[in-house]
Amino acid sequence: MDAISVIRTKRDRGELTDEQIDWVIDAYTRGEVADEQMSALAMAILLNGMNRREIARWTAAMIASGERMDFSSLSRPTADKHSTGGVGDKITLPLAPLVAACGAAVPQLSGRGLGHTGGTLDKLESIPGWRALLSNEEMLHVLDTTGAVICAAGDGLAPADKKLYALRDVTGTVEAIPLIASSIMSKKIAEGTGSLVLDVKVGTGAFMKTIEDARELASTMVGLGTDHGVRTVALLTDMSTPLGLTAGNALEVRESVEVLAGGGPSDVVELTIALAREMLDAAGVKDADPAKALADGSAMDVWRRMIAAQGGDPDAPLPTAKEQHVVKAPSSGVLTRLDAYGIGVGAWRLGAGRARKEDPVQAGAGIELHAKPGDTVTEGQPLLTLHTDTPERFDYALQAVAGSYDIAAPGTDFTASPVVLE
């Protein structure tokens, strides 16, 4: 078997055999297939797709590239959630401690930023001292003692995805249903969670731009999870507008803490509670009230213990960017569009995301939103504040956000899209 023949098969719209898939995933994990060969194959898959058999085999091969975890020693049922990636999607941060406060154990393996979408680990790393990398024993210990853990997938868990995820991020090969579904589900199945709620994003800021594609991704992932014995459900949620009022690493941690303190933007609170209900239901936890656990501080208590257990100081001031630039409303009226993709690319260019896989991210970089669709704005009021440590990035980021909002005449009737679509 050789990489070139596998690439040619997919380039020429053929079906990969089980043997080809097993070989290429294994050889890539061992370094025998080079990054440039895997990126050519990823691009061929993005352009020509894979059928359900190929996706199932690709996922199984990625699971088999590493170890599987086992949480059967825990006294509580496990529930995890995974988002397919969005802009301002900080939901994991309040959600994991919230669900733990309601009685399930939440082993939340998370990722780094991918393209214009933010990554949970990049966000949490803006908390001084917090460590994303835990050994399996440490992960189990944090989970057992606090009820929730958010950390990187260890090197032993789906290592094929670890390499491929970083490669896709910088080769324009993220937006492919087979690659997204297998990436997410290989980690979740290997992680050993008993139940899983998928937050499948749809809209300009998501990898799935249409509801049909989002449904296809959701059903592919639910099928993969169910086949491997994980109770898996999916919600389709809106990503045409950024979630909340911040996109960026430390900026989003700040907003998440507001939610845990019983405040925060209504869309973030609504989605956090909706996903918490699904997770508790999938885990079989009855009679828990996530809204109450946010209001009475019990979710905040778990957050503080969880952050501290991973070396973080929940009371430390969060980093802020050195420079700010304010974008003002060009006219008065009703904000009718604030495009998640434009804001995501803007935040990425300001330094919240990476251009090359070895790049660091800036903790303080990102965009604050001062209005959301449906709000009335006045000419000259701040609409967005751009944050970065490197002001030479402002121009490039401003190009991304320039066409990302519309303001209609005062009094225009406008109804914002619901947060949960299906």
Q: What is the separation, in whole angstroms, between the first and last Cα of the chain?
A: 44
Rounded Cα gap, residues 303 and 277, in angstroms: 18
Instruction: Determine, following the binding rule CB under 6 A, whether residue 183 of this chain makes contact with ligand URA.
Output: yes
Instruction: Determine, following the binding rule CB under 6 A, whether residue 173 of this chain makes contact with ligand URA.
Output: no
Rounded Cα gap, residues 82 and 120, in angstroms: 11
Piece of 88-96, 180-188, 189-197, 369-377 that binds ligand URA (CB under 6 A): 180-188
Rounded Cα gap, residues 170 and 173, in angstroms: 8
Instruction: Determine, following the binding rule CB under 6 A, whether residue 115 of this chain makes contact with ligand URA.
Output: no
Among residues 187, 304, 305, 349, the one annotated as catalytic is 187
Instruction: Determine, following the binding rule CB under 6 A, whether residue 111 of this chain makes contact with ligand URA.
Output: yes
Q: Confirm if 209 and 215 have CB atoms less than 8 A apart.
A: no
**Residue corresponding to tokens 């434009």:** 342
Between 111 and 346, whose beta carbon lies closer to ligand URA? 111
Rounded Cα gap, residues 151 and 358, in angstroms: 19
Instruction: Determine, following the binding rule CB under 6 A, whether residue 343 of this chain makes contact with ligand URA.
Output: no
Among 39, 84, 256, 272, binds ligand URA (CB under 6 A): 84
Among 184, 214, 279, 361, binds ligand URA (CB under 6 A): 184
Instruction: Determine, following the binding rule CB under 6 A, whether residue 377 of this chain makes contact with ligand URA.
Output: no
Between 165 and 303, whose beta carbon lies closer to ligand URA? 165
Between 146 and 182, whose beta carbon lies closer to ligand URA? 182
Is residue 187 annotated as a catalytic residue, yes or no?
yes
Among 114, 153, 260, 345, binds ligand URA (CB under 6 A): 114
Sheet holding 333-338, edge to edge: 376-377, 333-338, 405-408
> CB 331 → ligand URA: shortest distance, Å?
37
Between 249 and 388, whose beta carbon lies closer to ligand URA? 249
What residue number has its CB nearest to ligand URA?
183
> CB 290 → ligand URA: shortest distance, Å?
24
Is residue 123 annotated as a catalytic residue, yes or no?
no
Q: What is the DSSP letter of 268?
A: H
Residues in the chain: 422
Largest Cα separation within the chain, whole Å, is 66
DSSP state string for 70-117: --TTSSS-BEEEEE---SS--THHHHHHHHHHTT-BEEEEE---BTTB
> CB 214 → ligand URA: shortest distance, Å?
13
Inter-axis angle of helices 249-260 and 92-101, nearest 10: 30
Piece of 55-63, 135-143, 178-186, 219-227 that binds ligand URA (CB under 6 A): 178-186
Between 183 and 362, whose beta carbon lies closer to ligand URA? 183
Rounded Cα gap, residues 173 and 36, in angstroms: 12
Q: Confirm if 220 and 177 have CB atoms less than 8 A apart.
A: yes
Between 106 and 245, whose beta carbon lies closer to ligand URA? 106
> CB 110 → ligand URA: shortest distance, Å?
8
DSSP state string for 314-330: TTSPPP--SEEEEEEPS
Is residue 186 annotated as a catalytic residue, yes or no?
no
> CB 196 → ligand URA: shortest distance, Å?
12
Piece of 29-37, 179-187, 211-219, 254-262 that binds ligand URA (CB under 6 A): 179-187
Is residue 168 annotated as a catalytic residue, yes or no?
yes
> CB 119 → ligand URA: shortest distance, Å?
9
Inter-axis angle of helices 35-48 and 159-169, nearest 10: 80
Piece of 14-22, 176-184, 277-285, 399-407 that binds ligand URA (CB under 6 A): 176-184
Rounded Cα gap, residues 91 and 285, in angstroms: 20
Between 169 and 258, whose beta carbon lies closer to ligand URA? 169
Among residues 83, 183, 195, 240, the one annotated as catalytic is 183
Instruction: Determine, following the binding rule CB under 6 A, whether residue 85 of this chain makes contact with ligand URA.
Output: yes
- Torsion, Cα 311 248 80 94, to 10 degrees, reads 70
What count of other Cβ atoms lies within 10 Å of the Cβ of residue 78?
22
What angle (nearest 5°) sits at the alpha carbon of residue 312, between those of residues 311 and 316?
145
Among 180, 190, 369, 400, binds ligand URA (CB under 6 A): 180
HSE value, Cβ hemisphere, 13 Å, CA-based, for 69:
28
Is residue 116 annotated as a catalytic residue, yes or no?
no
Among residues 22, 89, 161, 169, the one annotated as catalytic is 161
Rg, Å, the chain Cα set: 21
Using CB under 6 A, list all residues that contact ligand URA: 84-85, 111, 114, 165, 179-180, 183-184
* Active site positions, annotated: 82, 161, 168, 183, 187
